[in-house]
Structure 1
């Protein structure tokens, strides 16, 4: 494979978190277990002992009470007739003694960072006007911009609203609201999910100022800037866990070394420079809440292949998701870990199945299977006699990043022959499925596919099949879609297909499911890689000429290529570049927390620097750690100059990364830090 065949990482916006003055780097506990932070900021001097919990909603029951009332009003429910007592929390005592001391403001209840976005004038105005909660969020909006959507999701079916649902459609899964919350909390406890992380001091101080009697005009300007964006959230946590890694490595080194300075065999050694993931399980909850908000009639069946990490699967199972499995291994993972109430919560969504996998599915009680060809009908009749077949139809996936129609899906003209074969082999046809391809940016494609599926429903009825299942597949983008690019967001797609689903399948006789994968997991992971080697190469005249388009942002007086080596690459997490057509975004951590937005136009050959950088830009190539020269994640693009030991933050690495990673050359990323950005 030629290196020119690969579109590597994005470099168009690698450092745009300009808030170093507002949110200095937090500290973590010292060896004695004390947590403290003292600094100067735009909102005054502040001391935090210990850090205020990011997620302790019990500290602000009045605010949550108000939030619930607003949510009920948004859904036209009279809150006076409903009990609005705070929901019982699985952890009612955690963080109650935490407090923040502010020297220049009134002593008031500290405000959660997850609530800071609700102190903006825009939010207050929206509530005053009765605007419904919008589930759209991206990398540059507040971390908890949809905390109200999460609260609404947890209210559905709860005792707080007398079992009422905010939709004519049933809630997902079999759990009550209280059981759902308790199940998620149990998963968080199992994986030691950090929900008491150091809060951004400036955000806390600014929110506190907002409620002070001594407001000034300048406070409102600071307030907007202090709201923590998704990128700022990742940057802040990155520093926390880098420091944690340094301390853990030192502790491990001390514990594994004998007085004679000999390392004890069999004890794993943790290195402070090891690459690691920060995984936000709270983001999964938020994504499910958004899904319920936009497509309440569609139950998600998570595509296990996108990220089979058990913690993610357990959270999704607790939220009421079903599962899309493509092999007996995935079926075993779901059933052996008791993630579903019944095998009917699994769809065996592989149109071309191996015989051994079919036997396992039959033995485990899995009945929903997809099919798109005549031979598969015959196989199902022999190996899965209890199967309920779902016909997979071909769709227009020309605007998808990963098209599937070349491999799967029966053309509409051939559906009748498939139905005839099903009658002949006595295979029950229960529904229709389609998949418009991964990351499809065209809502019209989904709408067209739904109408095609409805046509197949009519055809099936002519052959005596009563179809009761519609599977609208996956391909939904993560909420991090760049709206400026013109690509459709999840909300755009959902709001386009929802009226069509209600028009054609809204009678209640048809169960509608979907197979989202990256939608749930893409934005849950942030990868941290470390620079362990570098060198400079003088560019040839030919290379210099080919780089002239970069001269407006990169000094070309000394035409040199800066090559760096990081400890994760194309064979491990960055395999998504090859297999998923991904373009990961690279963010240099702690580059003064500057705003280094470099925008390029490949067609016109122009590159412009939109704001100044803290480090000089260099023509940069970044290699992974293996011995293969193909292991390259960035090639001859402008990037800030780096030094040994620097860290690169790569957000949105939760889909089709670790799932397909290989330990080639013995390299792998095996450190995971679990956090939650939302309040349960």
Structure 2
């Protein structure tokens, strides 16, 4: 199955009118993320159709709103948890331990023991000491080894910090086996916001080579965790989620044995387009009379939910009361007293010239990695509020 931009669906490009209508009918005292649960379900079903036999393990870190977890449990989703807190959240809402994987490769010993007592049997690792910790505190567990893969062209690369090399992966499998664990398979992450499924090819080749080497070394692997990377719409065309997921799975089928277990961990691709932030302009100013760019300051910034503007990697879209009027470039910044709290400066944003203090600004497709990144109150600004409809 090949995804093309002809498969792109406008209905998946922008949030439903339901979000804008809800925001228009309400006043907010602070920046607020509004989530449409029905849209989350739509995305889940679209991805599940394309992924076919792969089990969806929703990346809880993308948005841990209990209402989202509850809806996904009802839909039959599994979950990728990065911490004890996320595990407790899922279990507390009724998720079965068998549906939860502890996917963080850096875990506290007490949290491994907690997960084991709770009935979780699947853990990630990428280092010898982590294997030792899991063997000691989750005896008999299944482990999958996360591989270090080269950058794929993703807008938000996830290389270097997590994963290990081919030879080390084989040593870790042997160590796990010798310590009574079951080395079940491999995992990787192609990089968040990988807009084109063709970008997966080279990464899958790397992983397939390690899989073959593991089989030749005598390991009977049966689990492949393809991670996340499923994109959301931020202004540049992406395939429909079903077509995208189908194209990825077609590439997996070309490289890996038939009948193995496959996990996928969509986060952004599941919830980003289900959310919209209602924000407010605090100030519009120029640094001098001949300054080419206005500075537009919002009541939300990097520390209150928009951390993914770091390096201007994720380019959010904005709706203002003056859309359709003349626009000009501006530097967009947050409200805090930290000079790093600038959202877009290298590539200024075109916003209406009439924009002024007090105007409401809507930020589209913000359902992922906003509320979960928001600080508890840097500079005394309240954390991002969340409303689920």
Q: TM-score, normalised to structure 1's length? A: 0.51
Shift of 1:568: 1.7
- Give the match's secondary structure for 2:79: strand
- Give the match's secondary structure for 1:244: coil
Q: Are 1:530 and 2:240 an aligned pair?
A: no
Distance 1:564 1:394, change over 3 A: closer
Distance 1:462 1:230, change over 3 A: closer
Shift of 1:324: 0.5
Distance 1:670 1:458, change over 3 A: closer
Question: Could you list the per-position Cα deviations for residues 412-466 of structure 1 after superposition, in whole angstroms to 9, with x for gaps in the alignment?
Answer: 2333322332233232111221111112245345334445444444444455543
Work out whether residues 301 and 334 of structure 2, in 8 Å CA contact, stay in contact via their aligned partners in 1: yes
Question: Could you list the per-position Cα deviations for residues 313-354 of structure 1 after superposition, in whole angstroms to 9, with x for gaps in the alignment?
Answer: 11111111111111111111111221x2x3121111112322
Question: Structure 2: any 5+ residue segments left out of the alignment?
Answer: none
Q: Please point out which of 645, 653, 667 is paired with 2:366.
A: 653
Shift of 1:395: 1.9
Q: Please point out which of 265, 268, 271 is paired with 1:518.
A: 268
Work out whether residues 234 and 317 of structure 2, in 8 Å CA contact, stay in contact via their aligned partners in 1: no
Find the counterpart in structure 2 of residue 632 from structure 1.
Answer: 342
Find the counterpart in structure 1 of residue 309 from structure 2.
Answer: 577
Distance 1:500 1:622 in 2: 40
Work out whether residues 135 and 491 of structure 1, in 8 Å CA contact, stay in contact via their aligned partners in 2: no
Find runs of 4+ consecutive structure 1 residues off by over 6 angstroms: none
Instruction: Identify, as 1 or 2, the structure richer in strand.
Output: 2
Find the counterpart in structure 1 of residue 113 from structure 2.
Answer: 359
Taking the TM superposition and a 5 Å limit, the aligned residue runs for 1:440-519 are: 440-462=194-216, 464-478=218-232, 482-483=236-237, 490=241, 493-503=244-254, 505=256, 507-508=258-259, 510-519=260-269
Q: Please point out which of 93, 100, 106 is paired with 1:337.
A: 93
Distance 1:672 1:565 in 2: 21
Distance 1:617 1:414, change over 3 A: same
Distance 2:333 2:194 in 1: 30
Shift of 1:309: 1.1
Work out whether residues 434 and 473 of structure 1, in 8 Å CA contact, stay in contact via their aligned partners in 2: yes
Distance 1:583 1:569 in 2: 13
Work out whether residues 568 and 668 of structure 1, in 8 Å CA contact, stay in contact via their aligned partners in 2: no
Taking only aligned residues, the RMSD between alpha carbons, in angstroms, comes to 2.9
Work out whether residues 6 and 239 of structure 2, in 8 Å CA contact, stay in contact via their aligned partners in 1: no
Work out whether residues 587 and 648 of structure 1, in 8 Å CA contact, stay in contact via their aligned partners in 2: yes
Distance 1:418 1:586, change over 3 A: same
Distance 1:136 1:650, change over 3 A: farther
Distance 1:300 1:238, change over 3 A: same
Q: TM-score, normalised to structure 2's length? A: 0.86
Distance 1:385 1:135, change over 3 A: farther
Find the counterpart in structure 1 of residue 330 from structure 2.
Answer: 620
Q: Please point out which of 139, 147, 170 is paired with 1:393.
A: 147
Taking the TM superposition and a 5 Å limit, the aligned residue runs for 1:299-378 are: 299-338=55-94, 340=95, 342-378=96-132
User: Larger Rg: 1 or 2?
Assistant: 1
Distance 1:382 1:673, change over 3 A: closer
Distance 2:121 2:362 in 1: 43
Distance 1:528 1:512, change over 3 A: same
Distance 2:30 2:294 in 1: 22
Work out whether residues 479 and 490 of structure 1, in 8 Å CA contact, stay in contact via their aligned partners in 2: no
Distance 1:579 1:620 in 2: 17
Q: Are 1:411 and 2:132 an aligned pair?
A: no
Question: Could you list the per-position Cα deviations for residues 383-429 of structure 1 after superposition, in whole angstroms to 9, with x for gaps in the alignment?
Answer: 22131011212222241223233112221233332233223323211
Distance 1:537 1:419, change over 3 A: closer
Work out whether residues 564 and 621 of structure 1, in 8 Å CA contact, stay in contact via their aligned partners in 2: yes
Distance 1:503 1:365 in 2: 34
Distance 2:176 2:205 in 1: 22
Work out whether residues 302 and 309 of structure 2, in 8 Å CA contact, stay in contact via their aligned partners in 1: yes
> RCO greater where, 1 or 2, for CA within 8 Å and sep 6 or more?
2
Shift of 1:136: 4.6
Question: Could you list the per-position Cα deviations for residues 587-606 of structure 1 after superposition, in whole angstroms to 9, with x for gaps in the alignment?
Answer: 21x32x52xxxxxxxxxxxx
Question: Could you list the per-position Cα deviations for residues 478-515 of structure 1 after superposition, in whole angstroms to 9, with x for gaps in the alignment?
Answer: 256622xxx6765564343323434555643x221111
Distance 1:454 1:624, change over 3 A: closer
Distance 1:632 1:481, change over 3 A: closer
Aligned length: 381
Question: Could you list the per-position Cα deviations for residues 618-657 of structure 1 after superposition, in whole angstroms to 9, with x for gaps in the alignment?
Answer: 4534432323343333446542122333111110111111
- Give the match's secondary structure for 1:583: coil
Shift of 1:369: 0.8
- Give the match's secondary structure for 2:26: helix
Shift of 1:303: 0.7
